[in-house]
Amino acid sequence: MTGDKVSFTELDQHLHQYFNLFVTAIDPEYSGDVRQDAKRLVSDQSLWQSFIKTTDEEDDSALPNRALKEYPQLYLLNTLTEVLLAQLIPMESLKQNKLPFAQSLHLWFMKSWLLQYSEQHYPNEFQMLLEFLSRLLKPYDAHAGRTFDHVIDEFGELLIKVVESQADPQHYVDLQHQLTGVYQAFQKKILPFEQRVIAFEKQQHENQTASDDAKQLIKSTLQQHRIPKWVNVFISEHWHRLFHLILLKNDSPDEALNAGTSLLSELLDSFKLLTAEEVQQAFASTISPLRSQIRELFSSIVIDDAVMDSFLDRLEQHHIDIMEGKALPENEWVSFGSNEIKSSDSVKETYKQVILHCKSGSWFNYHLPDKSLHCRVIDRNMSYQKLVLVNYSGVRVDSLSFKVANDLIETEKLKPFSLHSELEQKLGELSNYIGAQVQAINKQLTDKQKQQQKRKLLARLEASRKERLEIKKSKRQAEKRAREKAILQKQAEQKQSIIEQLKLLAPGSTFIDHANDATLIKFVLRLKQTGKLVFVNKRGVKVAQWLPEEMATLMVDGKLELLASQQSNEQTMEQIVAAQRLKRQAVSTS
């Protein structure tokens, strides 16, 4: 048989020839019927029960050595099952992470295949069920998530029940119905997770867009102006936050933005007054009201009174200094030129790889620097030009712009793979494999070698089996060592990153001390002599002091956790406002 694609029915004659030749090679006096022997094996429930009980984690084969040597047909079918399943399903990954299921799947398929071989009949339901399992399990890897792991466990329980029961060619329909029910319940369960991931990405995009628009508005207002550096710092931080929140919380922000930009322009113009005479003329009409107008403008957002008072006092002092003949040093000023205006008729770039491959539901193999994992597209937003990727359980893996995704696909770091059935193609390859084995056995069989063939053939197969097991064991050990090395390296990098962050940590940051009943402690002081960071409890009593290196170790071990830094406290209001806006949008939509 030389076709590229074959069915189980077309494969059967090659398989039958292989069985006959193998059994005869072991026992030249054999005169029985291989199919009848297969029927007796399928019906021997005590035999299959013994297979179930003897599977263990030390040997990832589905059958014990004793059974394989005692039943030559099972010996061969065990190998063929292993070869075929490995081509259709990620069996190595399943053996590493879900060994009981992998063994159950192996036993179920081998018993079902042996049953249909003994009947010399392969119903469509048999092949359809194998294709169904292949499609569902093909994307599985160690990162599939706990929710899908539960599906694997339920699948395994259903499969092993079939192995424990009397052989029945009609079980395929019932089993597929049960497996489908489990999978549909899983899809329903992960749907809310996926919806939350999409909503989160939308919120992140809106937040970033508002921030970028606020920066652009300030940038355009600052054109052709020259201001003190301390004013630029205030504008970059607080005026930007004001515009950012206006854009987030207002459906019609134009009026508020116009008021903010108008007052900002007045502030900028006040720094064009460079002589005492100019300042005196504008003091009562422009400069003096400016301070109260700025304070009123910023009353709509949370800003520390001390920060506002300091800024307004410096603003007043700046103009007083001019009237007294004092001038701000030249290096304390910053100037802004004209901004380049982007062409309005620029055409958005089209990303062919994204359009071609990245449809909702498409699967990819995502190669990251420290790992590779399978992920699925749950949202391709043409407005934002963003892809959202999740694992099998609906947990967010990444969010990629079309440009980044297109580049990753072209460099094969984001590689699409199809869930379409390859069963008939793999059966064709298995047919060629069986044909090659038959030729090899025929070549070795001679009249003088027949008496020795049983021992040699079994020894060769057993040696081949042990070699495969040894290779798998060595591979798993190497992968384990690599994972452990990667974990240690990652922990070292995390510690170094934390140490660098702690060097910049501002007093007032709050931590959770998990080693002491999750007590809240606050960083108050860095000792100059030793570099230790001093912490107090809520009563102000000193409770601990650590070097940055000690703190990094505690934080990596999960014994100490940063609850809120000064910067994260300032961002809290923005997140609350964004969440309220999403809630109002949901209400208006419903």
| Domains detected in the chain | 8-195 (no CATH), 200-335 (no CATH), 351-420 (2.30.30), 501-564 (no CATH)
pLDDT at 1: 42
Task: Return the exposure string of 333-359: e unless at least 16 CB atoms fall within 10 Å of the residue's CB, then b.
Answer: eeebeeeeeeeeeeeeeebebbeebbe
% residues pLDDT > 90 (the chain): 52
Cβ-defined contacts of 567-570 (< 8 Å, 24+): 570/241
Residue 566 has pLDDT above 60, yes or no: no
pLDDT at 588: 62
pLDDT at 196: 94
Residues 382-411, mean pLDDT to the nearest whole number: 92
Q: What is the DSSP string of 499-546?
A: HHHHHTPPTT-EEEEGGGTTEEEEEEEE-TTT-PEEEE-TTS-EEEEE
Written as six digits, the tokens of 118 are 């003994």
DSSP letter for 170, please.
T
Strand partners, 519: 513
Q: In sequence order, which ranges of 335-449 are alpha helices (DSSP H)?
A: 352-357, 402-410, 423-444
pLDDT at 99: 92
Q: What is the DSSP string of 203-215?
A: HHHHHHHHHHHHH
Max mean pLDDT among 26-30, 388-392, 525-529 falls in 388-392
- Give the span between the Cα atoms of 319 and 276, in whole angstroms: 8
Residue 370 has pLDDT above 60, yes or no: yes
% residues pLDDT > 70 (the chain): 89
pLDDT category, 439, cuts 50, 70, 90? confident
Residue 47 has pLDDT above 90, yes or no: no
**Higher pLDDT residue, 59 or 561?**
561
- CB neighbours of residue 239 within 10 Å: 24
CA nearest to 356, candidates 286, 302, 410: 410
The amino acid at 520: L
pLDDT at 447: 56
pLDDT at 352: 84
pLDDT at 415: 94
pLDDT at 518: 82
**Strand runs (DSSP E) across 382-466, as ranges?**
386-390, 396-401, 414-416
For residues 80 and 110, the answer to whether their CB atoms sit within 8 Å is: no
pLDDT at 309: 93
pLDDT at 348: 54
pLDDT at 345: 40
pLDDT category, 573, cuts 50, 70, 90? very low
pLDDT, tens digit, for every residue of 218-274?
Answer: 999 999 999 999 999 999 999 999 999 999 887 788 888 999 999 999 999 999 988
Residue 146 has pLDDT above 50, yes or no: yes
Q: What is the DSSP string of 97-124?
A: H-HHHHHHHHHHHHHHHHHHHHHT---H
Residue with tokens 């069996």: 91
pLDDT, tens digit, for every residue of 162-184?
Answer: 999 988 878 999 999 999 999 99
pLDDT category, 461, cuts 50, 70, 90? confident
pLDDT at 572: 47
The region that residue 275 occupies, defined by phi over 0 for left and psi between -120 and 50 for alpha, beta otherwise, is beta
Adjacency order of strands within the sheet including 542-546? 542-546, 533-536, 519-526, 510-513, 560-564
pLDDT category, 380, cuts 50, 70, 90? very high
Strand, helix or coil for residue 386: strand
pLDDT category, 394, cuts 50, 70, 90? very high
Strand partners, 365: 374, 415
Residue 157 has pLDDT above 90, yes or no: yes
**Higher pLDDT residue, 441 or 534?**
534
pLDDT category, 5, cuts 50, 70, 90? confident
The mean predicted confidence, pLDDT, of the chain is: 87
pLDDT, tens digit, for every residue of 344-368?
Answer: 443 456 788 888 888 999 999 999 9
Residues 141-152, mean pLDDT to the nearest whole number: 95
Which of 26-30, 51-55, 519-523, 563-567 has the least mean pLDDT? 563-567
